[in-house]
Structure 1
Amino acid sequence: MTTPSHLAANWSDIRRRVDEACRAAGRDPAGVAILPVSKTFGPELIREGVALGMRRFGENKVQEIRDKAPLLADCGIAWVMIGHLQTNKAKDVARLVSEVQSLDRLELAEALDRRLQHEGRAIDVLVQVKTSTEPSKYGLLPEQLASFLDTLRGYATLRVRGLMTLAIHSTDPVEVRGCFRRLRELRDRAIAQGHDIPRLSMGMSGDFPLAIAEGATEVRIGTAIFGSRPYPDAYYWPEPTAKP
């Protein structure tokens, strides 16, 4: 179990490792942000993260944000949705989330836009692109990106800031790095076509140096900060008691 002292040590270590990866790639460390991924971990550990200077937290499931947000309302947290998002969750996202990094289809954009208009809000979004052939991965197909970005210009509540991807699950660094390179190339092509999308969210605990070498502006780090997850899709903390 990760304790506050372990969390502080992990946070310091991952910041050092990201800085080293930046220097190895000839990049300024200030150009790469770290998004702590707090999925499955409880409010108290997240609160400890806030005390260490973390302000943005990535979550895979809307339910976790919905459960945690009221318990951490005093912390000024910006919740970032990084998991696959169903359209029926748009209401909670529009109410609670500051950014969605997994926008991958028009029906989701439409659902978010409707709910955000109702809330009187606008949020940052990244378009998730599928850069591997794995059937388990979500994301827009690369050849669909240009037209999708053009369509998103019509949604004032969705501020498109960049692209996101999940690399192939492989021990071959050439394959993994190829996914990151593909996203950077797609981003550069979109910028040349007039889209202001500088951000690249790519790389996680096991592959972030490769992502940084290919131009990541943000890496999503969970395990290296909060510890291992023996049950990846389950809470580590008790869910709130259901109301009768």
Structure 2
Amino acid sequence: MKNEKEGYLEILSIIENAAIKCHRDPKEVKIVAVSKTYPWKEVSFCYEEGCRLFGESRVQEALVKQEEAPKDIEWHFIGTLQKNKVRKIINKFSLLHSVNSLELAEKISEVSLEENTVTKILLQINTSYEPTKHGFLTEQFESFISKIVLLKGVEVQGLMTMAPLTKDEKTIRSCFQNLRKIQTKFSSKDLPLKELSMGMSEDYKIAIEEGATLLRLGTILFGKRNYQGNIIIK
């Protein structure tokens, strides 16, 4: 990855070529532009170039930004979601990427039923087994998904994972391959698990090769954040 920012259209071209190279339909792979910590005016160029999927991870920041941004954007919530924030985001996001516990899924179900809506979710799996990462462990997944799919008011669209921050391509690829294996094992006609949210600015090309359908890209589009995550480094 280059150190400087790259345009949305340039990244789309890279993704198209990468998908074709591994015999995939480029239309299967979409960019979720991770606009967290950036004011709308700093990311609106991405919208102007055609992006309609934006990802946010802080509830209050996201709700403010939604008021400023065009109304045809499809917002994804990609951050760790606390149960006490669920009520604030139902009907505000088209997809929740990071449902990481049965309790959280139950809360989303409860509030969705109260709001007479169905909330689309992805189930986060900790395929790296890093203790600092959230998500179901692989060996736990079967028992949890069997309960989650029975919940009313939620619709499981697929799976999500995060690879370790490492330059070891083998380790990164293994995490993505594990998610794909889980998708293959548990997908069915009644539960297609069609979405795989995996791959960020540092590893999105590997993710494409391993079957990603949603790429969460921030740094490569908008520039680096500082360690606090709230100031853009020009």
The answer, yes or no, to whether TM exceeds 0.5 is yes
**Cα displacement (A) at 1:139:** 0.7
Cα distance in 1 for residues equivalent to 2:122 and 2:81: 13
1:32 Cα deviation from its structure 2 partner: 0.9
The match for 1:173 is 169
Paired residues of 1:65 and 1:96 also in contact (CA < 8 A): no
Find the partner of 1:125 among 105, 121, 124: 121
Return the match for 1:105 from 84, 96, 101.
101
Where does the alignment leave 5 or more consecutive residues of structure 2 unmatched? Answer: none
Given that 2:31 and 2:215 are in contact with CA atoms closer than 8 Å, whether structure 1 keeps it comes out as: yes
1:44 is matched with which residue?
41
Deviation by residue 1:157-183 (Cα, 9 ceiling, x = unmatched): 111010000012211100100000000
- Cα 1:177–1:168 shift into 2, 3 Å: same
Distance in 2, matches of 1:48 and 1:162, equals 29
User: More displaced, 159-168 or 74-83?
Assistant: 74-83
Percent identity of the aligned residues? 35
How far is 1:103 from its partner? 0.5
| Residue 137 in structure 1 maps to residue 133 in structure 2 | yes
Structure 1 segments unaligned to the other structure (5+ residues): 1-5, 237-244
Q: Which amino acid aligns with 1:142?
A: T
Q: In 1, are the aligned partners of 2:225 and 2:231 still within 8 Å (CA)? A: no
Distance across 2 between alignment mates of 1:132 and 1:193: 28
The structure in which a higher percent of residues are helix is 1
What is aligned with 2:12?
15
User: Does residue 90 of structure 2 align to residue 94 of structure 1?
Assistant: yes
Say whether 1:201 aligns with 2:206: no
Say yes or no: does 1:225 pair with 2:218.
Answer: no
Name the counterpart of 2:158.
Answer: 162
- CA drift of 1:192 comes to 5.1
Shift of 1:39: 0.8
Alignment: residue pair count? 229
SS at match of 2:155: strand
CA distance in structure 2 between the partners assigned to 1:133 and 1:113 by the alignment: 27
TM-aligned CA deviation for residue 118 of structure 1: 2.1
